[in-house]
Amino acid sequence: MISALVAKDVKLFFRNRFFATVTGLALVLYLAIYFLLPLQTENSVGVAIHLEDPAASPEFRQRLTEDEDFTLFPSKDEMLAALEDTDDYFVGMSVPAAAAQAVARGEATTLQAFYAPDVPAEAKQVFHELLVFIANMVNPDLMARLSPIEETEFVLGHDLLGQPLAVRDRFLPLLLLAMVMTEVLGLGTLIVREIETGTARALLTGPLRLPTFLVAKIVTGLVLAMSQVVIVVLVTGKIVVSPLLLLTTLFLGSLLIVGMAFFIAAISRNNTSVLAWGTLTLILFLIPALSIMLPGLASGWMELVPSHYLADALHRVLNFQAGWADVARDLFLLAAAGPAALVIGGAVLRRRL
Amino acid sequence: MTMIQVSDLSLTYPGTRDPAVDGISFEVGQGEIFGFLGPSGAGKSTTQRVLCKLLQHWSGSATVMDRSLTAWGQDYFAHVGVSFELPNHYLQLTARENLKLFANLYPQDVTRSEDLMAVVDLTADADTRVGQFSKGMMQRLSFVRAFQHEPRLVFLDEPTAGLDPVNARRITDHLQTLRADGCTIFLTTHDMHIADLLCDRVAFMVQGRLALIDTPRNLRLAQGRKQVQVEYRTGEGRRQELFDLDGIGGNERFAELLRSEEIETIHTQEATLEDIFIRTTGEQLL
């Protein structure tokens, strides 16, 4: 009985030209975006320096030459040309001729810093401190008095040194979540159409029981949501990263989304209101995944949005090869939120039917 | 054998004061076509919905196929067919796919679909998507869906609405065949012609109560006049005269009229169901 209903729903979904087209195009588009995003990440911070001062510490010159983030230019013009014409440098500084002596005398010294146009204000602040430090170091006396400090590094979490996360990989959890979330609209519309056109009533005045009807809708939702994301993880090759853990995460996340679709279908009068409520939910649920792409967006309240745990688990599994134990908290919360959403959504929908 | 036995059935919708159905009682026998008539809002659909187990929180008692309605589970619908007034099909599926989907829900083998499609002349369109059907075709498909699992009791709501006379005739003929085979039909309609033609008994419902219940013939006779109207043409135009049916064989004026005038029509004056409907409900049929 359930398989007949699911087959019918899937058939209806793909015979609806709008949904069939949007689903196909979205799949192609998402994959295209993924593959068009850069695979390599530029994680060096290029600093162009021209030391005009012949008295600058040779030791310091040597140190700058050895550090791959710094490039010494023989002239100010060449430094400026490199800053403007290439994407290799974020900031440039020319240390004037008398700077070393002036610093030694404790006199105020003016330095000119040149920034590439896309350097954000926060970065400028950091560069400012760096440039002041560099300018002070041109004085050989100061350089000689530098205390040798041993540094011990502690990396909290997964150490990304030497293996920076490519933009496309940062994007992947957002992409998967967006695909799963889109099914809120698809499933919600299918259910509302069944109510509007009376086919749900026709089914329920047959041997079909309401719980069976709802279970069939859950399976339909899971099939629609998971089939596309499975295609994406297959095409992107990410399926090889803990396939069972990945599929479990997507399954639990899909349950949550199906529960939301039930709720939206129950409170929506027609397809337009499904679209309105669905879009609102979509935006809210995508924010946690956006914060993975743009970590600056991350905020504590996002943990209140259940999709946070799906996005976080996907991010860790796909990008950091996290294991079951690493994402146990996310999975546990998803396993609680998914069925809870189903129960609440199912109860509200039951009243509507 | 009694198929439906309803006693003191009442139902008030939440948020309303007046009951939609107010203490009605009736019985429907096996193999009977029972017409449920009345104006919109009279409580016909509510009664049908209760009997289709679509509504809860009603009071009174209802026994269907010798079992309390509340005691029936979803297996009830293995024996019951339902056809709604507004066709409700999956428009993106073909007629055959629609029927097959519903057939798959029944525990018993459903084998009558193709025969019934032939009866209502849908075989040629069986593989056409229902979205391309006319209202009449959808109505005929509803009819097939309601009967394809060979139910013992069928609830039909306006089964001939939107049908051309030929297809309406196909449906009514088949309903009479099904009645002869012992199928019970609970028919809700505004079409007094269909009710008169098909129903063994009719019930008139007004404001949640049953106002009349009897055979169409008894109602017609009881509420009509035992007279005959003769319409004839003279040199001055058309004229009518009424004669009492009692003793009409010896009525000289009647015999004279038949002999000497150009008779156009002769009608007995029993009431039609439409007259009774209007008289009972106080509302004009549209």
ipTM over 0.85 threshold: no
B143-184: pLDDT as tens digits: 999 999 999 999 998 888 888 888 889 889 999 999 999 999
Q: Is A15 on the interface with B (CB under 8 A)?
A: yes
Domain B2-79+151-220 belongs to what architecture? 3-Layer(aba) Sandwich (3.40)
Determine what percent of chain A is predicted with pLDDT higher than 90. 1
> Based on the domain organization, do A98 and A209 belong to the same domain?
no
Residue B285 has pLDDT above 60, yes or no: no
pLDDT digits (tens, 9 = 90+) for A121-139: 777 777 787 777 777 776 6
User: Do A190 and A75 share a structural domain?
Assistant: no
pLDDT digits (tens, 9 = 90+) for B10-50: 999 988 888 999 999 999 999 999 999 888 888 888 999 89
Contact assignment for A4 to B97 by CB distance below 8 Å: no
Cα–Cα distance between A253 and A344 in angstroms, integer? 16
The pTM (predicted TM-score) of the whole model is 0.72
Q: Which two tokens stand for residue A182?
A: 């889109």
Disruptive mutation site among B54, B98, B105, B106 for chain A (greatest number of A CBs within 10 Å): B105
* Same domain? A216 vs A89: no
Span B179-214, pLDDT tens digits: 999 999 999 988 888 888 889 999 988 889 988 899
Residues of B in contact with A8 (CB under 8 A): 90, 93, 97, 101
- Beta carbons of B88 and A198 less than 8 Å apart: yes
Q: What's the confidence (pLDDT) of residue A22?
A: 82
Residue A323 domain flag = yes
Interface probe, candidates A191, A201, A203, A205, chain B, greatest B C-beta count within 10 A = A205
Q: What pLDDT is recorded for position A42?
A: 61
Is there a single domain that holds both residue A342 and residue A213? yes
The 10s digit of each residue's pLDDT in A174-211 is 888 888 888 778 888 888 888 888 898 888 888 888 88
Q: Is the predicted pLDDT of residue B284 greater than 60, yes or no?
A: no
Q: What is the pLDDT of residue B162?
A: 80
- The whole-number average pLDDT for the span B261-271 is 85
Residue A118 domain boundaries: 47-145
Cβ distance B93 to B133 under 8 Å?
A: no
- If one compares A98 and A231, the residue with the highest pLDDT of the two is A231
Q: What is the nearest CA distance from A214 to chain B, expressed in angstroms?
A: 15
Residues B61-93: tens digit of each pLDDT: 999 999 999 999 888 988 999 888 788 899 989
What does the longest C-alpha to C-alpha distance in chain A come to? 96
Would the CB atoms of B102 and A11 count as touching at under 8 Å? no
Do A30 and A52 sit in the same domain of this protein? no
Tell me, yes or no, whether A86 lies in a domain: yes
Judged by a CB distance cut-off of 8 A, whether residue B232 touches chain A is no
A163: confidence class by pLDDT, cuts 50, 70, 90: low
Q: Could you tell me if residue A343 is inside a domain? A: yes
Q: Are residues A344 and A245 in the same domain?
A: yes
Structural domain includes residue A151: no
Which of A81, A115, A145 is the last residue in one of the domains?
Answer: A145
Give the pLDDT score at A55: 63
Q: Is residue A153 part of a domain?
A: no
Model confidence over A237-265: pLDDT tens digits?
Answer: 888 778 899 889 989 988 888 888 888 88
Q: What is the dihedral of CA A172, A226, A251, A33, to 10 degrees?
A: 0
What pLDDT sits at residue B113? 87
Q: How far apart are CA A111 and CA A52, in angstroms?
A: 12
By Cβ distance, the residue of A4, A199, A205 closest to B54 is A205
Whether A155 is in a domain gets the answer no
Tally of domains in chain A: 2
* Residue B75 at interface with chain A, using a CB cutoff of 8 Å: yes
- Indicate whether A79 and A190 sit together in one domain: no
Q: Does B72 touch chain A (CB under 8 A)?
A: no
From A145, A174, A202, the end of a domain falls on A145
Q: Which of A145, A174, A208 is the last residue of a domain?
A: A145
pLDDT digits (tens, 9 = 90+) for A59-86: 777 777 777 778 888 888 888 888 887 7
DSSP string for B201-260? EEEEEETTEEEEEE-HHHHHHHHS-SEEEEEEEETTEEEEEEEESTTGGG-HHHHHHHHH
Residue A318 domain-assigned (yes or no): yes
